[in-house]
Amino acid sequence: MTTELLAPDLAVPAENRLHRMARHVLAPAGVYLAVRLLGVAILAVLAAVHDRNVLDVLKAWDGDWYLSIARDGYAVNFTGKVDAAGHFDADTTLAFFPGYPLVVGMLGRLTDTALPLVGVVASLIAGLFAAYGIVRLPKDRGVGLITVALFASTPMAVTLSMVYSEALFSALAAWTLVGVMERRWWLAASCCAAAGLVRPSAGVLILIVFVAVIVYGQTTKAWLAAAVCPLGLVAWLGWVANRTGSLTGWFEVQKAGWGTAFDFGANTWQFVRTVLTTDSSVMETANMLVVLGAIVLCVVGVVRKLPWPLIAYGIGLVVMTAGSSGVTYSKMRLLVPAFTLLIPVAIGLARRRSGTVLAVLVASALLSGWIGAYALTGWKYAI
Residue-wise pLDDT for 60-110, tens only, equals: 889 999 999 999 888 766 667 777 777 788 888 899 999 999 999 999 999
Rounded to two decimals, what is the model's pTM?
Answer: 0.92
Distance CA 335, CA 7 (A): 46
Q: What is the CA radius of gyration of the chain?
A: 21
What integer is the mean pLDDT of 336-341?
96
Residues 6+ apart with CB under 8 A from 158: 39, 40, 43, 368, 369, 371, 372, 373, 375, 376
Print the domain residue range for 322: 21-182+234-377
Residue 258 or residue 128, greater confidence? 128
Report residue 74: phi and psi, to 5°.
-85, 80
Please give the tally of structural domains in the chain.
1
Domain contains 6? no
Cβ atoms of 189 and 217 closer than 8 Å: no
Q: Tell me the pLDDT tens digit for each residue of 170-184.
A: 999 999 999 999 999
Q: Tell me the pLDDT tens digit for each residue of 345-363.
A: 999 999 999 999 999 999 9
Domain contains 193? no
Domain contains 354? yes
Domain contains 382? no
Domain contains 213? no
The pLDDT of residue 137 is: 96
Widest pairwise Cα distance in the chain: 80
Domain contains 187? no
Domain contains 204? no
Domain contains 207? no
Q: Tell me the pLDDT tens digit for each residue of 262-310.
A: 888 888 888 888 888 887 788 888 888 999 999 999 999 999 999 999 9
Cβ neighbours around 355 below 10 Å, total: 8
Mean pLDDT value across the chain: 90
